[in-house]
Structure 1
Amino acid sequence: MKAIGIGIIGCGNVLDAYLPQCERLESRGAARVHVACGRPAQRERALGLGARRFTTNENDVLHAPEVDLVLILTSMPSHARLTREALEAGKHVLVEKPFATTLEEADSLLQLATRKQRHLACAPFTTLSPTFRSIAQIIQSGRIGKPCSARARYGWAGPSWADWFYKPGGGCLFDLAVYCVTSLTGLLGPVHRVMAMTGAAIPRRMIEGRPTAVEAEDNAQVLLDFGDRCFGVVTSGFTMQQYRSPALEIYGTDGVVQMIGDDWDPDGHELWENRVGAWQVFKETAPDWSWTDGLPHTVQRLREDKTPEVNPRHARHVLEILLAAQRSGASGSAIDVISRFDRAPCAPLPGSDPAHLQHDRSRPHPPEH
């Protein structure tokens, strides 16, 4: 199988997380990073992280004949435009979240990807983690009975290096809650209705030493109606200094399952079954799994001429939920969610060592050959 040619647009902080994946792909002959595009000040950083060629012109990536897959790691408001231009250039696209900030943009991109017969892989990739799949299998097998309620949370004190996080097109819903909503809908299916409370709890922020007015929500509580009287709540914000309790929990009629750690950085799971009458703790079996796993997954599927498992219609549904939360937060009313997506059954990922055989989290499991 040929190596997939990769071009990167965006050489900011997120690039640090993706380049190790690129290095592993290159070492296996699966992919090759040909060119990276960023601001002039990012040249040395991008080249030092492994890009072969650097440019400040997006078109040098979009129209490079050796590039099969464009990796978009720019600020959120630019994602839709760059995704459109890459698809129009005939490239497959992996784009960080959210892939669009309006439903009109999202629908247009899905139609364009179909028309161009290109794959569109949209972050976040929480549904690819082995821990997510283990929890999904527990739910699907009925071990906790009928799911009745759910809770998910992701937040921190907030970025201090760029003001676009706090401007229209940014905010904690698009940047943080998107993970929680992706995971909950991946486990429980589409949402039918949304109600939310949102606001700017900290109206001014210090960004690179300058005071900046906050124009997007930095604090949100989102209530989700999954139908059949199953409800969930997402807590998110640039207002959380730390937390220690599980970041995702599903409560059923016969038990409870909860993820240890964040859904983008899981550390195992815990299970209560009424028939057992005790908490069961399951150690993380893929300690080296990364939230950037969508890249090696997409590369492998492209090499196999298969569709990536991450469904862009799922990402579109999540976007509709986040936009509904914004509208609900402003109006105080519940908002119906119209779209649906097909939720594929989660199959176990092969190759993980049993938990008792893993002792060094710095090494891949199983070891790469």
Structure 2
Amino acid sequence: MPTPVRIGVVGCGSVMQRPYTSQINQLKVRELVETVVACDVRTEHREKLLGPGFGYQRFTTDFEEVVSADDVDVVLVTTSMQEHAMITKAALEAGKHVLVEKPMGTTLEEAAEIVELAKKSPGHLVPAPHVILSPTYQKMWRHIQRGDIGQPYLARAFYGWAGPSWGQWFYRKGGGSMFDLGVYNVVSLTGFLGPAKRVTGLVGTAVPERMVEGEMMKVEADDNAHICIEFANSCYAVVTTGFTIQRYRTPAIEIYGSEGTIQMMGDDWDPDGYELWQNEVGAWKVFDESAPNWPWADGINHLVECIIEGKTPIITPAHAYHVIEIMEAARAAGKDGQRRDINSTFTPATFWESEDEAVAAHLRHDTSSE
């Protein structure tokens, strides 16, 4: 039995209390982790976090007590976006493993500092989102890399909703719909298609005032965006995202190639299978979701596995930095209309070693092509 990985968490809101705690509790049952210390500025969480549903050994309001604790191996950062970089840097400087919710920094300068610290730190850094860990993402990746849709030419990604009525920080400087929502799509597209070359975008604030936590507030961050991305070989993609979308029924991701199309159903953080059109087949292959219970907080499972087995995480700081550069470039383009070169790059994760693709699919003929 391996030595349990000792977890300290900073930021104990709904993201920590529900999706991450669900995964951590399953790891506890397997005796792979211990929950050591929880930190939150809201002291009303203390009793709950020390209780049986969470089982932390102690509670603090000072994150420095978490990152400096000798009995903590992993720091889970699930605060508001604006605090991510500060806490992540402190944890890396203390030599801890870190999982930080998206984005790892709200400026390119913060992200660059974190990448450099991660190179020097003995701890792993796993930045969210964790969409590339989903079995559906990995199956689609293999289809694309095998050439099942030919050469990718165009892509479209989509994620949005009406926006939260809690947490004013979503709408403050450093927040916004790109960092909260569009980031999932940008990670997925760059994972599928590789590093971006150039970016432009239409990014703005459609709703200048919102009712949040019972009071009207001025919105300082973007809530409405089209991010236009140029990849290699004249492949273009657009991400549509915003706190401006009431409902939708479109696929999360669509990639159009010279010989076919592949599309992810559901959302990329909550996939519901995928569909594949190949000209040589002449019908849609519909693949039902193979992992309907896949959790979008799966990064904590991946990080714990890597620590215990001595492996390197496939989610990398370089990829997260590249994604932040894309979103920052889109935001700048929204102000002056200028296209921007993307200077960073990364090595996309590969999934050739994963399960065989011989899974059941049913055919749906597209009468519009007849």
Q: Same fold (TM over 0.5)?
A: yes
1:366 maps to what in 2? none
Alignment partner of 1:50 is 2:27: no
Report the TM-score, using the length of structure 1 for normalisation: 0.94
In structure 2, relative to structure 1, the CA distance for the partners of 1:353 and 1:291 (3 Å cut) is farther
Match of 2:35 among 20, 33, 36: 33
Q: Give the secondary-structure state (helix, strand or coil) at the position aligned to 1:300.
A: helix
Matches within 5 A, 1:299-318: 299-318=304-323
Segment drifting more, 79-88 vs 43-52: 43-52
**Counterpart in 1 of 2:12?**
11
Q: Distance in 1 between matches of 2:359 and 2:9?
A: 36
The CA distance in 1 between the partners of 2:225 and 2:26, in whole Å, is 37
Whole-angstrom distance in 2 between the partners of 1:352 and 1:20: 29
Alignment check: 8 A CA contact 1:313 1:341 kept = yes
* 1:279 counterpart SS class: strand
User: Which 10-residue stretch deviates more, 247-256 or 101-110?
Assistant: 101-110
Whether the 8 Å contact between 1:185 and 1:191 is mirrored in structure 2 is yes
Alpha carbons of structure 1 residues 353 and 279: separation in structure 2 relative to 1, 3 Å: closer
- Per the alignment, residue 367 of structure 1 pairs with none
SS at match of 2:185: helix
The amino acid that maps onto 1:236 is T
Counterpart of 1:61, as a letter, is V
> C-alpha displacement at 1:344, in angstroms?
2.9
Report the aligned-residue RMSD: 1.6
How many pairs does the alignment contain? Answer: 356
Tell me, in whole angstroms, the C-alpha distance in 1 between the residues paired with 2:329 and 2:88: 23
Q: Deviations over 1:314-333 (max 9, x none)?
A: 00000000100110001111
CA separation in 2, counterparts of 1:202 and 1:153?
19
Pick which of 52-61 and 185-194 moved more.
Answer: 52-61
SS of 1:228's partner is helix
Q: CA deviation at 1:273?
A: 0.5
Aligned to 1:60: 65
Tell me the distance in 2 between the aligned counterparts of 1:354 and 1:7: 40
What SS class does the counterpart of residue 34 from structure 2 fall into? strand
In structure 2, the residue matched to 1:289 is 294
Q: What CA distance in whole angstroms lies between the structure 2 residues aligned with 1:86 and 1:103?
A: 19
SS at match of 2:169: helix
Equivalent residue, structure 2, for 1:333: 338
Q: Is the 8 A contact 1:196 1:221 kept in 2?
A: yes
- What is the identity, as a one-letter code, of the residue corresponding to 1:13? S
**Alpha-carbon deviations, 1:38-75, whole Å to 9, x = none?**
12122234334413222212122112211100000000
Matches of 1:274 and 1:352 in 2, distance apart?
19
**SS, match of residue 203 in structure 2:** strand
Distance 1:270 1:135, change over 3 A: same
The match for 1:359 is none
Structure 1 residue 98 corresponds to structure 2 residue 100: no
Percent of aligned pairs with the same residue? 51
Q: Which sections of structure 2, spanning at least 5 residues, go unmatched? A: 362-370
The yes-or-no answer on 1:267 pairing with 2:269 is: no
After superposition, give the CA deviation of every residue in 1:279-326 in whole Å (9 maximum; x if it has no partner): 111011111101100000110001011111101100000000010011
2:135 match: 130
Letter in 2 for 1:194: V
d(CA) in 2 for partners of 1:343, 1:217: 28
Aligned counterparts, 1:1-369, within 5 A: 1-15=2-16, 16-38=18-40, 39-48=42-51, 49-52=53-56, 53-347=58-352, 349=354
Distance 1:298 1:82 in 2: 18
Structure 1 residue 166, shift from structure 2 partner: 0.8
Once residues 341 and 299 of structure 2 are traced to their aligned partners in structure 1, the CA distance between those partners, rounded to angstroms, is 30
Select between 105-114 and 238-247 the one with higher mean Cα deviation: 105-114
Q: Kindly state the Cα deviation for residue 31 of structure 1 after the two structures are TM-superposed.
A: 1.1
Aligned-residue offset at 1:199: 1.0
- Rate the CA distance shift 1:271–1:108 in 2: closer, same or farther, 3 A: same
Unmatched 5+ stretches in structure 1? 357-369
2:237 & 2:357 partners in 1: Cα distance? 31
Question: How big is the shift at 1:103?
Answer: 1.8
| TM-score normalized with structure 2 length | 0.93
